[in-house]
Structure 1
């Protein structure tokens, strides 16, 4: 049986670390609901159960103008007054952790 070289051990360690970091990755989750009273409620978090408290949220009109800004609260929620016309809700959890929800997907 061949003896592992230092470089093969280093490559194995790096591969293991790469797999471990991939396993620790979390996916953003955000859903929005029309409350039927002129407001919208969004619930946000991450797939690993970590909180999204403080994650920036914005509501933009069809031209991309920011109408409303806020953040997910300690309960994982964000509420806002529903704008007229088409809009998008943006969960801005950082690079690779953003979600855009179109108004026609909110029920």
Structure 2
């Protein structure tokens, strides 16, 4: 009975801890149109950590890189809005890449 009482709390703790660990570094990125010819993207991670230095790529509709840079110290990146179709790629490494279609970036 004593062993059972020790195992059950340990299993509960393990069960609660694992989902949090799996989600600890989910990449997040959103972009918005500033209505002045520029787009600003903000990035981060679900555990609250900064995206400072994370790469951001702007591609045209055919996939050609138009601009490439990195999130600033406030986890933001602003660029001139391309004409025509484009996409923004937030690239924090394997498993942490987000691509946003320019059609979905609104004011």
TM-score, normalising length: structure 1: 0.80
Cα deviations by residue, 1:38-75 (Å, 9 ceiling, x for unpaired): 00000000000011100000000011000000101110
Show the counterpart of 2:84. 85
Show the counterpart of 2:31. 32
Asked if 1:74 is matched to 2:73, the reply is yes
CA RMSD for the aligned pairs? Answer: 2.2
Show the counterpart of 1:99. 98
Question: 2: CA distance between counterparts of 1:71 and 1:31?
Answer: 15
Question: 2: CA distance between counterparts of 1:41 and 1:84?
Answer: 16
Q: Where in structure 1 do 4 or more consecutive aligned residues deviate above 6 Å? A: none
Compared CA separation, residues 98 and 78, structure 1 to 2 (3 A): same
Question: 2: CA distance between counterparts of 1:83 and 1:45?
Answer: 24
Secondary structure, aligned partner of 1:85: coil
TM-score, normalising length: structure 2: 0.80
> For 2:20, which of 20, 23, 28 is the aligned residue?
23
Show the counterpart of 1:12. none
Asked if 1:42 is matched to 2:77, the reply is no
- Structure 1 unmatched ranges of 5 or more: 2-15
The Cα shift of 1:23 comes to: 2.8
| Equivalent residue pairs, number | 98
The Cα shift of 1:30 comes to: 0.3
